[in-house]
Structure 1
Amino acid sequence: MTLKWHWLPTVVIGSWLSYRWVSRLAVAPQPLTVRRSDVRYDRTPTLFIPGWGGHAWTYNRLLRWLAQQGYGHKVLTVRVDWRGNPHFVGHWDGLATNPLIQVLFDHSLTRDYQPQIGWITQILRVLKQRYGVTAYNAVAHSWGGSAAIHSWLLHGQATDLPQLRRLLLLGAPVDESVTGGPADVAYQRLRAAGHHLRANGRETVINVYGTLTGRQTDGSVPVQQVRALRPVLAASSVVYREIHVPRTSHGQLHASPRMWRFIGKTIWGDNQKAANPNSVNG
């Protein structure tokens, strides 16, 4: 029995390393082989940003599906290492084919999403410097969405960053304070940054949240934490929409085929309007 226990640390460490390796296996870049008549194509990249504990699996299936359905195709993987340095893998020729960029964080189990704010901002800076990107879309889940909205509001006016076009948030908590508890400092800072928004901006923010039957939560994020974004953008020219997806858990917001169809039509649909995930077909 003693000899068996001696092997336990090796097994645990080996399993963890195997998980880390497999979780970083992002879907490979691929050309766009299918074009749809109901999709608008341009060279604006769309970033796919995972939440806390997110990994390559978060969006691998979605990215494959988007390419198969002709909405867009993956061109780059951006992996942020433990020191916060972004590494770009892949080739992007700048063609108007709805390029998709998968973002991965080596340190995905952070105490909060503050580090991700800086990492996302740096990724955007490099995209402009290296690839000449002037505008971008983003699909962001959970804390990835929290970081993305902070990056945009706090730093989006910088001239060395591309301008946001469309931001699709999936179950992103914005105000994580609790009744009777201390205020969420990050949320207070976000509200104070609202004056940074351009008066003539054309940004669109689509804030999606799920609920489980009979509950005001998706199982991880309460509805009020998501909808707290509304007063932040209320006085701006930003096009803001909230979309409720009932009977949908936190993980299903990015992993459900119903949501994949919604994401495709919302970001690249010919009419550029946010559809209802419960009624989207094709």
Structure 2
Amino acid sequence: TIWVAPNGRIWTEGNFHGQKNALIQVLFTWNYNGTYHPQIKQLTTVLNYLQKHYHMQKINVVAHSYGGTEFIHAYMGSKYLQDHMRLNKVVFLGVPVEESLSDQLKYRYHLVNKSTDKNFHQLFLEMKNWQLNYPVEIYNLMGSEEGSKTTDGAVPHIQSEMLKSLVKAHPSIRYHQKVYPKTTHFQLHHRTKILNNIANILWGRN
């Protein structure tokens, strides 16, 4: 477990010892800011720490909600991480990558031009310029609260589905998308079925 403070201080608990497929949890000591940008900076510090101190060259990522938003911005905003830490499998749970589009919209690529989210447009350019030369698998998992087909109650599907537009520039990315019915934003990381599915994605277990 790694904790990171707003000033960038890091401390850890537990052992790593170069274990294959070790499980590492990242926690922010304070994440109640008005935006997710301070957490992007803190997470970048953590990822650099993992790479430099533990020489991690290839990782899987599981992230819920803004945790995924922060990760993709941290990784895409760092040429060093792109050059020294490869992604393998990325599992996003209810992660918004674009936050200006209405939940009444269905995904279409042309919505890139309708977006007024400056953070999304920055990410779009960073993804386009990413010199990706190896395969990556991205799993975009969403929930639909009871009675709705467009939102998990907190994040509209369209704001997660715009991830398709980001990965389109890279043929080596295999994109998977799944919506769990009658599942709220909170339940995405609590329901046993979903946790088992994630375990199967990462480790091939049922």
| TM superposition shift of 1:246 | 1.1
Aligned residue for 2:87, secondary structure, equals strand
C-alpha separation in 2, matches of 1:269 and 1:158:
27
C-alpha separation in 1, matches of 2:96 and 2:89:
18
45, 50, 55: which one aligns with 1:122: 45
Q: Which residue of 2 aligns with 1:246?
A: 181
Q: Which residue of 2 aligns with 1:149?
A: 72
Q: Which residue of 1 aligns with 2:130?
A: 197
Question: Do the aligned partners of residues 113 and 184 (structure 1) sit closer, same or farther apart at CA in structure 2, a change above 3 Å counting?
Answer: same
Question: Is residue 34 of structure 2 the alignment partner of residue 111 of structure 1?
Answer: yes
Q: Which residue of 2 aligns with 1:226?
A: 160
Q: Which residue of 1 aligns with 2:192?
A: 257
C-alpha separation in 2, matches of 1:159 and 1:255:
31
List aligned pairs for 1:1-282, cutoff 5 A: 77-96=1-20, 98-155=21-78, 158=81, 161-179=84-102, 183-215=116-148, 216-236=150-170, 237-269=172-204, 282=206
Post-superposition Cα deviations, 1:39-79, rounded to whole Å, max 9, x if no partner, equal xxxxxxxxxxxxxxxxxxxxxxxxxxxxxxxxxxxxxx100
The runs of 5 or more residues in structure 1 that have no matched partner are: 1-76, 271-281
Post-superposition Cα deviations, 1:231-265, rounded to whole Å, max 9, x if no partner, equal 11112121111111111100111011111101100
Q: How many residues align?
A: 193
Question: Structure 1: which 4+ aligned runs deviate by more than 3 Å?
Answer: 156-161
C-alpha separation in 1, matches of 2:184 and 2:135:
31
| TM superposition shift of 1:85 | 2.1
| TM superposition shift of 1:199 | 4.3
| TM superposition shift of 1:155 | 1.7
| TM superposition shift of 1:182 | 7.6
C-alpha separation in 1, matches of 2:165 and 2:197:
25
Q: Which residue of 2 aligns with 1:70?
A: none
One-letter amino acid of the structure 2 residue matched with residue 228 of structure 1:
M
Percentage identity across paired residues of the two chains: 32
| TM superposition shift of 1:267 | 1.1
Aligned residue for 1:91, secondary structure, equals coil
Aligned residue for 2:32, secondary structure, equals coil
Larger Rg, first or second structure (1 or 2): 1
Q: Which residue of 1 aligns with 2:106?
A: none
C-alpha separation in 2, matches of 1:193 and 1:160:
14
Question: Which TM-score applies when normalising by structure 2?
Answer: 0.86
Aligned residue for 1:166, secondary structure, equals strand
C-alpha separation in 1, matches of 2:179 and 2:131:
27
Whether the aligned pair in 1 keeps the contact of 2:76 and 2:82 (CA below 8 Å) is: no
Alignment RMSD (CA, Å): 2.0
The runs of 5 or more residues in structure 2 that have no matched partner are: 103-113
Whether the aligned pair in 2 keeps the contact of 1:124 and 1:161 (CA below 8 Å) is: no
Aligned residue for 1:204, secondary structure, equals strand
Post-superposition Cα deviations, 1:191-245, rounded to whole Å, max 9, x if no partner, equal 1112233342212111111111331110100111100111111121211111111
C-alpha separation in 1, matches of 2:80 and 2:89:
15
C-alpha separation in 2, matches of 1:204 and 1:197:
15
